[in-house]
Amino acid sequence: MRNVVIGFLGTQLDMGKRREWRPSVQLCAHPDFPVDRLELIHDSRHFHLACNIVAAIAKISPETEVRLVNISMTDPWDFQEVYGKLYDFAADYGFDEDRERYHIHLTTGTHVAQICWFLLTESRHFPARLIQTGPPRDGGEPQGTLDVIDLDLARYNALQRRFEAARREHSALLLGGIETRSAKLTAMVERLDLVAGSTDAPIFLVGEPGTGKSALAARLHELKLVRRRVKGRLVQVNCATLGDSALSALLGQRRSGNDRPGFLREADGGVLFLDQIDQLAPDAQAALIQVLETGRYCPVGTEAEVSARLNLIASASQEPGTLVRLGRLRPDLAARLAQWQFRLPPLSERREDIEAQLLHLLAETERLLDRHTGLNGDALARYVRFARDPATPWPGNLRDLQASAQRMAVLAERGRITLAMVEAEIATLTEQWRAMATDPDASLLEQVLDRPEALDEFDRVQLAAVIRACRDCGSLSAAGRRLFAVSRAGKTSANDADRLRKYLARFGLDWASVAG
């Protein structure tokens, strides 16, 4: 790996007036720290001094390439100007971390420049380490000292507006460029941006089908590339499709004539997205937790360990605790995933965003059809009124909305979506949802029982009513008082909580498993 150092020309120290030691020159004279390239930042007023430094470096370290970078600053003590110029320099610089190791030289430049160096390095705009050089100590080497440092300059936060602008850009990226009015979604995205840019820990996305978990995972990968958290590609896996081959598909296998790399190897250096992770076989879950804890695993068919460096994003329709209780997720894996858990609100909880989402989806369909599709004002108003109605369920969330937008665009032969077309589309959606409607009691029982179909219909109806009462009440006693309010009057002693506890026990349940 080539060592590349980026630093300012020292307009005082590099002149050598106070002492013979000149930091930019002696930086290149350390035998245990060869400098392959020095990016020396100067302004036009000190070009002659910069040329003298280049000549001096050529004498003591001819193998060092020196590039002069002209960045003129009106006031080198102005935070806004210095940070802005260095920010733009980093954005235009072609970093190649596979071949070069980058360092920031803090010794030269103003204190403002040093603080800006730290902030830009901390945020990974410069993927570099900080180094500090110093003059020779008594009896020390003539080139002086060189140390890698880790200063805590968090208190220098005079550039909050820059960070806020960057955060808005990242939030827009995670939202796919679609503005949101949802406070829930805004808070979730801001927190997700902070986590994705600061840590490589697993991220768990929870949400109903169609809330956009896969699309968000792809945008997270893009954000991690921008923030230089990863360099590799995104590998997307739907765990529900793996079946009995999940372990070999995940780890890969090495057998004569039947080698396969596995998803872990394909995602090395990048992001592995495991959609519906609760559908992953138990042995594959055990292997995954080992990879998360040790960074190593053995492909199927061999005992030779290989390493895996990747970021994991997983998703499911229910929270980790619920999946553990249902026996679909290992507790140790759930504990790792629950550290950074984000719930995507369903469309029914952010109806204020439906108009913007609809217009975005129509624009996407226009690009696919290669034609413009207009939407009459009265037609848009009618659709939005229907979409925002609390009685409109949107069970498929964004998938329903996307299908609806595509239908209307395709059927608009003359390039206009009319009120009559919207009325027909509303009728189509209503009929589809009516046909897809499920038994709410069955859905509720599936959350707490492995085989609710084994119960008599009488027990299913009664148990579902009991579970709803438990979830409406704050305690076992309160639920008992509600459920047995009439029969309690004919008893000499009432113990509603005990009666409810015994009833739940008939089905292998307790308060914790049904309270929600």
Q: What is the pLDDT of residues 291-321, one digit of tens each?
A: 999 999 999 888 888 898 999 999 999 999 8
Q: What is the pLDDT of residues 40-63, one digit of tens each?
A: 999 989 999 999 999 999 999 999
Summarize the confidence of residues 499-506 as an average pLDDT.
Answer: 91
Q: Which two tokens stand for residue 366?
A: 């226009």
- Residue 311, pLDDT score: 95
For 252-271, write each residue's pLDDT tens digit: 988 766 678 899 999 999 99
What average pLDDT is seen over the chain?
88
The residue count of the chain comes to 516
User: Do 49 and 14 contact (CB within 8 A), yes or no?
Assistant: yes
pLDDT tens digits for range 177-205: 788 888 889 899 989 998 998 899 999 99
Residue 14 exposure: Cα atoms within 13 Å on the Cβ side: 26
CA distance linking residue 104 with residue 323, whole number of Å: 47
Tokens 């909880």 -> residue: 349
d(CA 82, CA 110): 10
pLDDT at 341 over 90: yes
Is the CA virtual torsion 420, 423, 427, 428 positive or negative? positive
510: left (phi over 0), alpha (psi -120 to 50) or beta: beta
CA distance 372 to 409: 9
DSSP string, 161-215: HHHHHHHHHHHHHHTTT-----HHHHHHHHHHHHHHHH--S-EEEE--TTSSHHH
CA-to-CA separations, 110 to 66, 79, 105, 291, in angstroms, rounded:
21, 10, 12, 45
pLDDT attached to residue 440:
79
Q: pLDDT-based confidence at 214, cuts 50/70/90?
A: very high
pLDDT bucket at 172, cuts 50 / 70 / 90 = confident
Of the candidate ranges 16-20, 284-288, 314-318, 434-438, the one whose mean pLDDT is the lowest: 16-20
Non-local CB neighbours of 435 within 8 Å, separated by 6+ positions: none
Q: Is the pLDDT of residue 222 over 70?
A: yes
pLDDT at 386 exceeding the cut of 50: yes
Q: What is the pLDDT of residues 101-159, one digit of tens each?
A: 999 999 998 999 999 998 999 888 999 999 998 888 776 777 888 887 654 444 444 44
Inform me whether the pLDDT recorded for 458 exceeds 50.
Answer: yes
Distances (CA, A) of 431 to 207, 380, 389, 421, 436: 25, 21, 16, 15, 9
Give the DSSP letter string of 41-79: EE-GGGHHHHHHHHHHHHHH-TT-EEEEEE---S-TT-H
Q: 480-502: per-residue pLDDT in tens?
A: 888 888 887 666 666 888 889 99
Q: What is the pLDDT of residues 393-434, one digit of tens each?
A: 999 999 999 999 999 999 987 889 999 999 999 999 999 998
Is it the case that residue 74 has pLDDT exceeding 50? yes
pLDDT single digits (tens) 348-376: 999 999 999 999 999 999 888 888 888 99
The Cα angle at residue 171 between residues 166 and 176, in degrees rounded to 5? 125
Q: Is this structure's pTM higher than 0.85?
A: no
Dihedral sign, Cα of residue 156, residue 158, residue 162, residue 165: positive
- Structural domains for the chain: 2-158 (3.40.50.10770), 162-343 (3.40.50.300), 347-436 (1.10.8.60), 442-514 (no CATH)
pLDDT of residue 349: 93
* Exposure string for 394-430, b = 16+ CB within 10 A, e = fewer: bbbbbebbbbbbbbbbeebeeeebbeebbeebbeebe
- The counts of H helices and E strands in the chain are 21, 15
445: exposed, middle or buried (C-beta count within 10 Å: 0-12, 13-18, 19+)?
buried
**What is the distance between the alpha carbons of residues 182 and 184, in angstroms, rounded to a whole number?**
5
d(CA 206, CA 258) in angstroms, rounded, equals 36
* Residues in CB range of 509: below 8 A, 6 or more apart: 448, 449
List of long-range contacts for 454-460, beta carbons under 8 Å, 24+ apart: 455/507, 459/507
82, 117 contact by CB (below 8 A): no
Kindly state the percentage of the chain with pLDDT values over 70.
Answer: 93
Position 359 scores a pLDDT of: 93
- Greater pLDDT, 208 or 141: 208
Confidence check: pLDDT of 209 > 50: yes
Q: With beta carbons less than 8 A apart as the criterion, state whether 247 and 288 touch.
A: no
Residue 389, φ and ψ in degrees, nearest 5: -65, 130
